[in-house]
Amino acid sequence: MKKIILLTDFSWNADHAIEYAMQWFDSKYTQGPLDFILVHVAPGVPAIPTYPFLTSLVSTEDLLKEETEQLHAVCAHFSSKYPHFRFREMLIIGKAVDSICSMVRQEHPDLVVMGTKGFTGLTRMIMGSTTLEVLKKAHCRMLIVPSGATLDLPDKVVIGANHLTADQMHILNPVRQMVEAWNPELEVVRVITPRELDDVVDDVVVQRVEHFVNSKRLHFTTLQHVSAEDGLEEFIEAQKANLLVLIGQERGFLLNLFHHSVSKEMIIHARVPVLILHTQEWEVTGERAEHDHEAEHSVALESGSFID
């Protein structure tokens, strides 16, 4: 059974991301039974710093009761809309990033789905705090869905292949599943910067991708650009792509791309979902080690599914 983590903070953006992901799985994106876990991370203390006199009126127990009820409501909504799938709930008490990373290590999910807000004004600061920190620390497949993404299935997919090697074809298994389910057009792109002009495209990689993905709508493009991030952004815009697939093993490029896009309010964070694949699943980086003692104090409360 494949396990899908659906993160929610009860916002419209979280619901939108879950709905987007459900379009994939409702269209036979993958075969076999699926286990959807709706996860909400709640702080362990009341978050009312501006009005200290109110803290005595609102207890942690009251807040958790309210958030549990909200989680029940979200689960009931999606269970009713997709009765052929199984949903269950998990309420985690702790710090968001550390709790999510700890859960990934314990649950071994096949995919984690997160929503993000648009990037204008103050919302740029909001995205950086949780999504980027999880990207830094959690090594698992992630689907990041911006608020501007449509609910259409991807029909033009760009795959950033700067760091794909010939022995890593298994990473592209989700792409092969897309081909079998929807047969989208695939654009595998490699952006060469001036300091990489001497790099040679590995023909073995090209041949193995062609064989593994097995799509007649597969194309390869090599671009020269002063910035790998700018080059990829411009290619996505020109191709009118509606999904970007990135290989997450190269932490620097991945994080630079996200920081770069946020700072320039570029298209990736406006409307294009990003699927991040990893060579090694369910791991966390060494950065997380210093926070392990905090994550250990998080508590997960799980309730049953709304459907049998």
pLDDT digits (tens, 9 = 90+) for 49-99: 444 544 445 567 777 889 999 999 999 999 999 999 999 999 999 888 899
Q: Assign domain 152-272 to its CATH architecture.
A: 3-Layer(aba) Sandwich (3.40)
Q: Tens of pLDDT along 287-300?
A: 333 333 344 445 66
User: What is the domain partition of the chain in residue ranges?
Assistant: 1-149+274-308, 152-272
Q: What is the pLDDT of residue 198?
A: 56
Sign of the torsion angle spanned by Cα atoms 238, 264, 15, 278: positive
The model's confidence at residue 302, banded by pLDDT at 50, 70 and 90, is: low
Sheet holding 299-303, edge to edge: 218-224, 185-192, 156-160, 243-247, 274-277, 142-146, 111-116, 2-7, 34-42, 86-93, 299-303
Give CA–CA dist 136/194, Å, rounded. Answer: 27
Which amino acid makes up residue 249? Q
pLDDT in tens, 114-143: 988 754 333 343 344 677 778 777 788 999
pLDDT tens profile 204-256: 888 889 999 999 999 999 888 888 777 888 898 899 999 999 886 555 555 56
Helix (H, G, I), strand (E, B), or coil: what is residue 190?
strand
Residues above pLDDT 90, as percent of the chain: 41
- CB of 64 within 8 A of CB of 93? yes
38, 74 Cβ separation under 8 angstroms: yes
13 closest CA partner among 123, 107, 142: 123
Q: What are phi and psi of 3, to 5 degrees?
A: -110, 125
Phi, psi (deg, nearest 5) at residue 302: -115, 135
Interval 10-53: pLDDT, tens: 999 999 999 999 999 999 888 889 999 999 998 865 544 444 54
pTM for the structure as a whole: 0.81
Sort strands 274-277 and 142-146 into parallel, antiparallel or unpaired.
Answer: antiparallel
CATH code reported for the domain at 1-149+274-308: 3.40.50.620
